[in-house]
Amino acid sequence: MIKIIQTWDDGVCDDLRLIDILRRHEAKATFCLNPGLYQNERSFGWMYEGREVRRLSVQELRHVYEGFEICSHSMTHPRLTDVSPDQLQWEVTKSRKILENIFQKPVLGFCYPFNDFNDVVKNAVRSAGYTWARGSDYQDPISPPPDPLAFSPLCRFDDDDIMGKYDRAKQRGTGVFFFWGHSYQLTDEFMWERLESLIKHISFDPDVQWSFVSDLFI
């Protein structure tokens, strides 16, 4: 039996469709949010492949992500290796406090913006009280991770060989199959259908179990 974990970044409106799929197939997921970027109404984020990416409003976060694990992605998504010590402290500490206040539950995980970090950043994350942090290099995760503050996924959701990697992970029995992504990068119906097929396949597989990232550290 291996654990299947997935993380999704940035907390945008496309998560609504993603979450509908996840709930339909009873799949767990961890969502990595930037509380310093939300406004009272849904707001423009950026352009991606000719379409607007919009952020959810702060008032709807708790309802939208109910039942899922929440992870801090920093306050404002800067490259943390470039910021001042004071901003680094604010980005990692304040974000956790705000998210715990919104969701009324512990926030144990951190996701490095741009998957970029160094020892200074990692120490700040450790000092802020996080249990784990998502790292940068793709690797075959094992459970428990040797370095919980640099825990990396195996692949992205749109990896051409994701099913092959899934099957090989089961054969190796390394304990974890971990993929990640951004819902705004699901840009056409074929991609949405392919993702739902993956989620459905995993949910019907008796040899695996959906898990939150924090389940690995319990």
What's the number of domains the chain is made of?
Answer: 1
**How crowded is the C-beta side of 186, counted as CA atoms within 13 Å?**
24
Residues 108-165: tens digit of each pLDDT: 999 999 999 999 999 999 999 999 999 877 777 666 778 899 988 999 999 999 999 9
Matching residue, tokens 């109910």 = 66
CATH number at residue 93: 3.20.20.370
Domain that holds residue 145: 2-217
Name the pTM for this structure.
Answer: 0.96
What's the DSSP call for residue 142? B
- Say if strands 69-72 and 109-111 run parallel, antiparallel, or are unpaired: parallel
C-alpha–C-alpha distance, residues 107 and 110, integer Å:
8
Q: Do 158 and 191 form a contact (C-beta atoms < 8 A)? A: yes
Q: Which amino acid is at 207?
A: D
